[in-house]
Structure 1
Protein backbone atom coordinates (compact mmCIF):
# COMPACT_ATOMS: atom_id res chain seq x y z
CA UNK A 1 0.00 0.00 0.00
CA UNK A 2 2.84 2.39 0.84
CA UNK A 3 4.45 1.89 -2.59
CA UNK A 4 1.12 2.69 -4.27
CA UNK A 5 0.83 6.00 -2.33
CA UNK A 6 4.36 7.01 -3.35
CA UNK A 7 3.62 6.25 -7.00
CA UNK A 8 0.35 8.23 -6.87
CA UNK A 9 2.05 11.20 -5.17
CA UNK A 10 4.87 11.05 -7.73
CA UNK A 11 2.38 11.03 -10.63
CA UNK A 12 0.47 13.99 -9.13
CA UNK A 13 3.71 15.98 -8.69
CA UNK A 14 4.82 15.22 -12.26
CA UNK A 15 1.42 16.25 -13.64
CA UNK A 16 1.53 19.53 -11.69
CA UNK A 17 5.02 20.26 -13.05
CA UNK A 18 3.88 19.66 -16.64
CA UNK A 19 0.87 21.95 -16.20
CA UNK A 20 3.16 24.66 -14.76
CA UNK A 21 5.58 24.27 -17.67
CA UNK A 22 2.79 24.42 -20.27
CA UNK A 23 1.41 27.65 -18.82
CA UNK A 24 4.82 29.37 -18.48
CA UNK A 25 6.03 31.83 -21.14
CA UNK A 26 8.35 30.64 -23.92
CA UNK A 27 11.80 29.79 -22.68
CA UNK A 28 14.61 32.24 -23.19
CA UNK A 29 17.46 31.55 -25.57
CA UNK A 30 20.97 30.59 -24.61
CA UNK A 31 24.09 32.74 -25.01
CA UNK A 32 27.40 30.94 -25.55
CA UNK A 33 31.13 31.66 -25.84
CA UNK A 34 34.05 30.06 -27.66
CA UNK A 35 37.72 30.79 -27.03
CA UNK A 36 40.32 30.32 -29.75
CA UNK A 37 43.72 28.97 -28.83
CA UNK A 38 46.77 31.20 -28.54
CA UNK A 39 50.09 31.10 -30.34
CA UNK A 40 51.73 32.94 -27.41
CA UNK A 41 52.33 31.20 -24.11
CA UNK A 42 51.71 34.50 -22.30
CA UNK A 43 48.06 34.60 -23.47
CA UNK A 44 45.35 32.31 -22.14
CA UNK A 45 43.54 32.52 -25.50
CA UNK A 46 43.91 34.31 -28.82
CA UNK A 47 40.28 35.15 -29.48
CA UNK A 48 36.92 35.19 -27.77
CA UNK A 49 33.67 34.82 -29.69
CA UNK A 50 30.26 35.24 -28.08
CA UNK A 51 26.71 34.76 -29.31
CA UNK A 52 24.19 36.85 -27.35
CA UNK A 53 20.69 35.36 -27.69
CA UNK A 54 19.06 38.72 -26.85
CA UNK A 55 19.19 40.51 -30.19
CA UNK A 56 21.17 37.77 -31.93
CA UNK A 57 24.46 39.64 -31.60
CA UNK A 58 27.85 38.11 -32.30
CA UNK A 59 30.85 39.67 -30.53
CA UNK A 60 34.40 38.78 -31.50
CA UNK A 61 37.34 40.01 -29.43
CA UNK A 62 41.02 39.75 -30.38
CA UNK A 63 42.33 38.88 -26.93
CA UNK A 64 46.09 38.60 -27.55
CA UNK A 65 48.68 40.86 -29.22
CA UNK A 66 50.11 38.05 -31.32
CA UNK A 67 50.04 39.44 -34.87
CA UNK A 68 47.00 37.34 -35.82
CA UNK A 69 43.40 38.42 -36.32
CA UNK A 70 40.47 36.88 -34.48
CA UNK A 71 38.02 34.87 -36.60
CA UNK A 72 34.68 33.25 -35.78
CA UNK A 73 32.89 30.51 -37.71
CA UNK A 74 29.09 30.58 -37.36
CA UNK A 75 26.75 27.70 -38.17
CA UNK A 76 23.00 28.38 -37.93
CA UNK A 77 20.40 25.59 -37.87
CA UNK A 78 19.79 23.62 -39.97
CA UNK A 79 23.44 22.78 -39.33
CA UNK A 80 25.92 22.02 -42.08
CA UNK A 81 27.58 18.62 -42.14
CA UNK A 82 31.26 17.76 -42.58
CA UNK A 83 32.56 20.84 -40.73
CA UNK A 84 30.57 23.32 -42.81
CA UNK A 85 29.32 26.64 -41.52
CA UNK A 86 27.16 29.54 -42.73
CA UNK A 87 29.54 32.51 -42.44
CA UNK A 88 32.63 33.91 -40.75
CA UNK A 89 33.28 37.08 -38.81
CA UNK A 90 36.74 38.63 -38.83
CA UNK A 91 38.23 41.05 -36.34
CA UNK A 92 41.25 42.62 -38.02
CA UNK A 93 41.63 45.35 -35.40
CA UNK A 94 44.34 45.27 -32.76
CA UNK A 95 44.25 43.18 -29.60
CA UNK A 96 41.64 44.22 -27.07
CA UNK A 97 39.13 45.40 -29.68
CA UNK A 98 35.74 43.81 -30.28
CA UNK A 99 33.74 43.57 -33.51
CA UNK A 100 29.95 43.15 -33.21
CA UNK A 101 27.59 41.79 -35.85
CA UNK A 102 23.82 41.90 -35.38
CA UNK A 103 21.62 39.27 -37.04
CA UNK A 104 17.94 38.32 -36.79
CA UNK A 105 16.74 34.73 -36.35
CA UNK A 106 13.42 33.21 -35.38
CA UNK A 107 13.06 32.41 -31.68
CA UNK A 108 14.40 28.95 -30.93
CA UNK A 109 16.90 28.86 -33.81
CA UNK A 110 20.10 26.98 -32.96
CA UNK A 111 23.39 28.85 -33.42
CA UNK A 112 26.89 27.36 -33.07
CA UNK A 113 30.18 29.28 -32.97
CA UNK A 114 33.88 28.42 -33.08
CA UNK A 115 36.61 30.99 -32.40
CA UNK A 116 40.11 30.87 -33.84
CA UNK A 117 42.96 32.92 -35.29
CA UNK A 118 43.79 33.85 -38.83
CA UNK A 119 45.40 36.15 -41.36
CA UNK A 120 42.63 37.91 -43.22
CA UNK A 121 44.64 38.79 -46.36
CA UNK A 122 45.78 35.21 -47.03
CA UNK A 123 42.77 33.38 -45.57
CA UNK A 124 45.10 31.22 -43.47
CA UNK A 125 43.49 30.27 -40.16
CA UNK A 126 43.58 27.78 -37.32
CA UNK A 127 44.04 27.53 -33.56
CA UNK A 128 40.33 26.76 -33.26
CA UNK A 129 38.58 26.42 -29.94
CA UNK A 130 35.59 24.17 -29.35
CA UNK A 131 32.26 24.57 -31.15
CA UNK A 132 29.65 25.79 -28.68
CA UNK A 133 25.95 26.03 -29.43
CA UNK A 134 23.18 28.29 -28.16
CA UNK A 135 19.61 29.18 -29.07
CA UNK A 136 18.19 32.51 -30.23
Structure 2
Protein backbone atom coordinates (compact mmCIF):
# COMPACT_ATOMS: atom_id res chain seq x y z
CA UNK A 1 0.00 0.00 0.00
CA UNK A 2 1.30 3.45 -0.80
CA UNK A 3 1.82 6.16 1.81
CA UNK A 4 -1.08 8.16 0.35
CA UNK A 5 -3.54 5.29 0.76
CA UNK A 6 -2.46 4.67 4.36
CA UNK A 7 -2.72 8.38 5.23
CA UNK A 8 -6.07 8.66 3.44
CA UNK A 9 -7.47 5.63 5.27
CA UNK A 10 -6.19 6.96 8.59
CA UNK A 11 -7.75 10.40 8.03
CA UNK A 12 -11.06 8.77 7.05
CA UNK A 13 -11.05 6.54 10.13
CA UNK A 14 -10.31 9.47 12.46
CA UNK A 15 -13.12 11.50 10.88
CA UNK A 16 -15.61 8.65 11.35
CA UNK A 17 -14.64 8.25 15.04
CA UNK A 18 -15.07 12.00 15.49
CA UNK A 19 -18.54 11.90 13.96
CA UNK A 20 -19.58 8.92 16.04
CA UNK A 21 -18.56 10.68 19.26
CA UNK A 22 -20.10 14.06 18.45
CA UNK A 23 -23.35 14.97 20.23
CA UNK A 24 -26.63 15.17 18.32
CA UNK A 25 -27.34 18.61 16.99
CA UNK A 26 -29.35 20.79 19.31
CA UNK A 27 -32.74 22.16 18.43
CA UNK A 28 -34.08 25.63 19.09
CA UNK A 29 -35.44 26.69 22.48
CA UNK A 30 -38.44 29.02 22.61
CA UNK A 31 -39.97 31.20 25.34
CA UNK A 32 -43.48 32.67 25.13
CA UNK A 33 -45.24 35.19 27.38
CA UNK A 34 -48.89 35.77 28.25
CA UNK A 35 -49.92 39.42 28.61
CA UNK A 36 -50.65 40.75 32.08
CA UNK A 37 -54.18 41.43 33.28
CA UNK A 38 -52.92 43.36 36.33
CA UNK A 39 -51.11 46.70 36.53
CA UNK A 40 -47.56 46.37 37.77
CA UNK A 41 -46.87 43.02 36.09
CA UNK A 42 -45.00 42.80 32.79
CA UNK A 43 -46.41 39.34 32.03
CA UNK A 44 -49.05 37.09 33.56
CA UNK A 45 -47.41 33.85 32.41
CA UNK A 46 -44.39 32.45 30.62
CA UNK A 47 -43.46 29.09 29.16
CA UNK A 48 -40.12 27.70 27.98
CA UNK A 49 -39.58 24.81 25.59
CA UNK A 50 -36.07 23.48 26.18
CA UNK A 51 -34.93 21.48 23.15
CA UNK A 52 -32.26 19.68 25.18
CA UNK A 53 -34.29 17.32 27.35
CA UNK A 54 -37.51 18.30 25.58
CA UNK A 55 -39.23 19.88 28.55
CA UNK A 56 -41.96 22.51 28.72
CA UNK A 57 -41.80 24.67 31.85
CA UNK A 58 -44.76 26.92 32.72
CA UNK A 59 -44.32 29.90 35.06
CA UNK A 60 -46.95 32.05 36.77
CA UNK A 61 -45.35 35.51 36.58
CA UNK A 62 -47.92 37.67 38.39
CA UNK A 63 -49.96 37.45 41.61
CA UNK A 64 -53.20 38.24 39.81
CA UNK A 65 -55.45 35.40 40.96
CA UNK A 66 -55.17 33.56 37.63
CA UNK A 67 -53.29 30.39 36.73
CA UNK A 68 -50.69 30.26 33.98
CA UNK A 69 -51.40 28.06 30.97
CA UNK A 70 -49.71 27.28 27.66
CA UNK A 71 -51.13 25.74 24.49
CA UNK A 72 -48.70 23.49 22.62
CA UNK A 73 -48.90 22.53 18.96
CA UNK A 74 -46.42 19.90 17.74
CA UNK A 75 -45.66 19.31 14.06
CA UNK A 76 -47.56 18.36 11.98
CA UNK A 77 -49.38 21.51 13.08
CA UNK A 78 -53.12 21.77 13.66
CA UNK A 79 -55.07 24.13 11.42
CA UNK A 80 -57.66 26.72 12.39
CA UNK A 81 -56.09 27.65 15.73
CA UNK A 82 -55.91 24.06 16.93
CA UNK A 83 -53.27 22.68 19.24
CA UNK A 84 -52.22 19.28 20.59
CA UNK A 85 -52.34 19.81 24.35
CA UNK A 86 -52.11 22.38 27.14
CA UNK A 87 -50.04 22.58 30.33
CA UNK A 88 -51.37 24.41 33.39
CA UNK A 89 -49.52 25.93 36.32
CA UNK A 90 -52.08 26.43 39.11
CA UNK A 91 -49.36 27.06 41.75
CA UNK A 92 -49.66 30.86 41.81
CA UNK A 93 -46.94 33.46 41.28
CA UNK A 94 -45.18 32.50 44.51
CA UNK A 95 -45.38 28.79 43.67
CA UNK A 96 -43.02 26.62 41.73
CA UNK A 97 -43.02 26.21 37.96
CA UNK A 98 -44.66 23.18 36.37
CA UNK A 99 -42.43 21.02 34.18
CA UNK A 100 -43.82 18.69 31.52
CA UNK A 101 -41.32 16.14 30.17
CA UNK A 102 -41.79 15.20 26.51
CA UNK A 103 -40.05 13.13 23.87
CA UNK A 104 -39.89 14.23 20.24
CA UNK A 105 -37.79 13.20 17.27
CA UNK A 106 -34.91 15.51 16.49
CA UNK A 107 -36.04 18.39 14.29
CA UNK A 108 -39.72 18.20 15.30
CA UNK A 109 -41.34 21.64 15.46
CA UNK A 110 -42.94 22.73 18.74
CA UNK A 111 -45.07 25.90 18.89
CA UNK A 112 -46.48 27.46 22.06
CA UNK A 113 -48.82 30.25 23.15
CA UNK A 114 -49.02 31.42 26.79
CA UNK A 115 -52.09 32.80 28.52
CA UNK A 116 -53.97 32.81 31.82
CA UNK A 117 -57.06 31.13 33.13
CA UNK A 118 -58.83 29.29 35.90
CA UNK A 119 -57.43 25.78 36.02
CA UNK A 120 -60.35 24.26 37.93
CA UNK A 121 -62.93 25.37 35.34
CA UNK A 122 -60.71 25.32 32.26
CA UNK A 123 -61.71 28.91 31.35
CA UNK A 124 -58.80 30.76 29.76
CA UNK A 125 -57.79 33.74 27.65
CA UNK A 126 -55.43 36.72 27.40
CA UNK A 127 -53.16 34.91 24.96
CA UNK A 128 -49.76 36.09 23.84
CA UNK A 129 -48.20 35.36 20.45
CA UNK A 130 -47.44 31.90 19.09
CA UNK A 131 -43.74 31.18 18.81
CA UNK A 132 -41.96 28.03 17.63
CA UNK A 133 -38.79 26.04 18.33
CA UNK A 134 -37.48 22.63 17.32
CA UNK A 135 -36.61 19.51 19.28
Deviation by residue 1:10-65 (Cα, 9 ceiling, x = unmatched): xxxxxxxxxxxxx9986420000000011101100000101000011000000000
Q: TM-score, normalised by structure 2?
A: 0.80
Q: TM-score, normalised by structure 1?
A: 0.80
Task: Please state how far the C-alpha of 1:78 moved relative to its aligned partner.
Answer: 0.2
Provide runs of 4+ in structure 1 moved above 4 Å: 23-26
RMSD after superposition: 1.5
Alignment of 1:1-136 (within 5 A): 27-96=25-94, 97-136=96-135
Match of 1:46, SS state, is strand
Return the alpha-carbon distance in structure 1 between the equivalents of residues 108 and 98 of structure 2. 22
In the alignment, structure 1 segments of 5+ residues that lack a partner are 1-22
Return the alpha-carbon distance in structure 2 between the equivalents of residues 83 and 101 of structure 1. 22
